C-alpha cells in the first residue's frame, strides 16, 4: 500500500498559474466543473481548462474512492474532474436516477426500498455495470462497494468485462475533524453541491450559490447519527482496505482538510496521465 503525505507540488501550482488570473478559485469548494462553468459564462476560451484524458499506459483509469462518511470523497471527485477527463459515478446517484426512471433494476430497487429491505448486491452491481457500459474511458466510483461481498461481486463483474480495477484511493481524515464537518454540512439536494459553514459557506446563508435554492441539513448529520454511521464503516467498509492492499492497488492520502489532501491526489494522478 502506498501512502502520500506531500504538500502542494510545483506542477499543480504551475498549471494553475498557466490558466490565468482568477483560475485558482476552481480548485476550492465542492461545486462541480459544470456548475463552475455555469457561474462563469464569460470566461474566455483561452482560460477554459483542458482536461487530461490519456494515461501513460494507455489503459483507462478505473478507480474507487474509499473513506469514512464525511471524509470528503465527493469534494475530491469534483476537483479531480476539473483537471482530468474522468467520469464520476456515485452509487447513490445511480440508484436514485434508476428508481426515478423506472428502469428494470430501478423497479427492483424501488420495491426493496418500499418494503424496508436493503437493495440487494446483485441489483446494485447491475446498476453499476449498466453505468460503466456507457463509459469508454476513465472512471471513478464512489459509494460502492461497502463490504467485502460487494467488492468481490464488483471484481467478478469487472473481470468478466475485462476491465479490472487499477487504483483504489483511501482518504484518511481524523474523526474529530469529520464530526465537525458533518455538523456544519449543508447540501443542495438537486445538484449534490456541499457547503460547510466554516470553510466553504454559501455566499447567501441557507442558499445554493448557483441556483439560489434552499440548502438542506441532513437529519442524520448530527453527532449521535454520525457515530452510528462511523461504527458501521469500521465494521463493514474498513476491512476493504486490507482486501485492496493485498491486490496491490490501494493508496492512502492523509490530511485534516480537502485542501491538504487534494494536492496528494493530484500528484498521484499526475504521475498516471500524459
Which residues are the active-site residues? 73, 146, 185, 218, 229
- Separation CA 179–CA 226 (nearest Å): 7
Q: Are strands 250-254 and 139-142 parallel, antiparallel or unpaired?
A: unpaired
The Cα-based distances of 207 to 86, 121, 180, 220 in angstroms read 29, 36, 21, 20
- Separation CA 50–CA 69 (nearest Å): 31
- Separation CA 104–CA 153 (nearest Å): 20
- Separation CA 207–CA 182 (nearest Å): 18
- Separation CA 100–CA 92 (nearest Å): 12
Q: How far apart are the first and last CA of the chain?
A: 23
Amino acid at each position: 500500500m502506498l501512502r502520500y503525505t506531500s504538500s502542494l507540488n510545483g506542477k499543480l501550482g504551475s498549471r494553475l498559474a498557466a490558466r490565468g488570473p482568477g483560475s485558482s478559485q476552481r480548485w476550492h469548494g465542492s461545486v462541480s466543473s459544470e456548475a463552475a462553468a455555469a457561474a462563469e459564462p464569460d470566461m474566455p476560451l483561452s482560460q477554459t481548462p483542458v482536461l487530461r484524458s490519456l494515461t501513460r499506459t494507455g489503459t483507462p483509469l478505473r478507480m474507487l474512492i474509499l473513506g469514512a462518511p464525511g471524509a470528503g470523497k465527493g469534494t475530491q471527485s469534483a476537483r479531480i474532474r476539473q483537471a482530468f477527463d474522468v467520469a464520476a459515478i456515485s452509487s447513490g446517484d445511480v440508484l436514485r436516477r434508476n428508481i426515478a426512471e423506472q428502469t428494470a433494476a430501478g423497479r427492483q430497487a424501488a420495491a426493496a426500498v418500499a418494503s424496508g429491505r436493503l437493495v440487494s448486491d446483485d441489483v446494485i452491481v447491475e446498476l453499476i455495470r449498466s453505468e460503466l457500459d456507457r463509459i469508454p474511458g476513465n472512471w471513478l466510483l464512489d459509494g460502492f462497494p461497502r463490504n467485502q461481498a460487494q467488492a468481490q461481486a464488483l471484481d467478478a463483474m469487472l473481470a468478466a468485462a475485462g476491465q479490472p480495477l487499477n487504483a483504489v484511493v483511501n482518504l484518511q481524515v481524523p474523526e474529530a475533524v469529520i464530526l465537525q464537518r458533518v455538523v456544519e454540512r449543508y447540501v443542495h439536494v438537486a445538484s449534490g453541491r456541499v457547503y460547510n459553514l466554516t470553510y466553504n459557506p454559501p455566499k447567501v446563508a441557507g442558499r445554493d450559490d448557483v441556483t439560489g435554492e434552499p440548502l438542506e441539513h441532513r437529519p442524520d448529520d448530527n453527532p449521535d447519527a454520525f457515530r452510528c454511521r462511523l461504527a458501521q464503516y469500521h465494521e463493514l467498509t474498513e476491512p476493504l482496505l486490507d482486501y485492496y492492499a493485498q491486490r496491490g492497488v490501494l493508496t492512502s492520502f492523509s490530511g485534516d482538510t480537502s485542501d491538504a489532501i487534494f494536492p496528494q491526489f493530484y500528484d498521484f494522478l499526475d504521475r498516471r496521465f500524459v
